[in-house]
Amino acid sequence: MTVAAAPPVNFDMGRVISAGFGLLARRPVPILLLALVFSFLPAIVVGWAATYLAGPQPTPGVVPDLGATFQRLGVLETIAFVAGGVTWVFHGGVALVATADAAGQTEQIGAQLIKGLGRASLVFVAGVVASLGIFLGTLLLILPGVLLSLAWSVCAAVGAVEGKGFMDMFRRSAELTRGCRGALFGIAVIFFIAAGALTFALRLALGVPLLASGGGQPALLTFVFQPVLSAVIAAVIASVSAAAYLELRGVKEGLAAAGLAATFD
């Protein structure tokens, strides 16, 4: 289980990553079904939108049309913000699976996911707003965006599992992650590198340039291989994120499996 009988006394990266993979190994069906709906299918939509809605890429050696360039960037960023909201809903759903698993209430997974649908719209909106905030923070010398992403890294789990309101999600996540953001950053870097390496390997295997996008890459990559890879990576990341949320509650609140069972009362 993600949360042991006795709560952890410190946030441990290795334990969190191991717990995330363990969760995915124990509960592959609900997590992969969530990945299908909230990662694989959205990745296909994003690929289509980036190809057909964003407009053509600038041609190397040709002075770009600034209006068309800014329009393309606007479309791509809007897609990214919406995708961020969908990702938060996915992470919230996996957090519900992880909580039921850790509490020994696996028969409640389906009921909890259905119950979580009522909170999905709020989590989605919060994810879109957070994506926008992180984007703007990144424009300010990158560091503010990184700090915001770490402080808000378990917002989706808080919204789905604890049913917090809009502002309380952000406050609660900031409280839980305080003092542990260095370790959370380490986990994020590990998965960023791993995801980049897998994406590079996939493109290399298909003979596609790393920087090619939209109409510059084959349809099979855009609509099949890349969405499948994205869904698998997303399932792993969401599982580890859920494990991190439970670990943080164990460290900060002394919450053990018995305490989690109260979530289902």
Domain presence at residue 9: no
Residue 8 lies in a domain: no
Supply the pLDDT for residue 140.
84
* Residue 27 backbone dihedrals phi, psi, to 5 degrees: -125, 55
DSSP string covering 115-160, please?
HHHHHHHHHHHHHHHHHHHHHHHHHTTSHHHHHHHHHTTTHHHIII
Q: Name the amino acid, one letter, at 184.
A: L
Instruction: Write out the two tokens for 209.
Output: 């340039």
Instruction: Kindly state whether residue 179 falls inside one of the protein's structural domains.
Output: yes
Tell me whether residue 10 is in a domain.
Answer: no
> What's residue 261's pLDDT?
64
Asked if residue 2 belongs to a domain, the reply is no
Q: Could you tell me if 69 and 56 are in contact, meaning their C-beta atoms sit under 8 angstroms apart?
A: no
The confidence score (pLDDT) of residue 112 equals 93
- In the predicted model, residues of the chain with pLDDT beneath 70 are 1-5, 55-65, 210-216, 256-259, 261-265
Instruction: Report pLDDT for 58.
Output: 61
Is 3 part of a structural domain of the chain? no
What b/e readout covers 201-233, taking b as 16+ CB neighbours within 10 angstroms? Answer: eebeeeebeeeebbeebeeebbbebbbbbbbbb
Using one digit for the tens of pLDDT, what is the confidence trace for 88-108?
Answer: 999 999 999 999 999 989 999
The first and second tokens of residue 235, run together, are 């399932």
Domain presence at residue 114? yes
The whole-number pLDDT of residue 167 equals 97
pLDDT for 1 equals 47
Q: In which domain, by residue range, is 117 found?
A: 15-264
Number of structural domains the chain divides into:
1
Instruction: Look at residue 64 in the predicted model and tell me its pLDDT.
Output: 63
Give a yes or no: residue 1 inside a domain. Answer: no
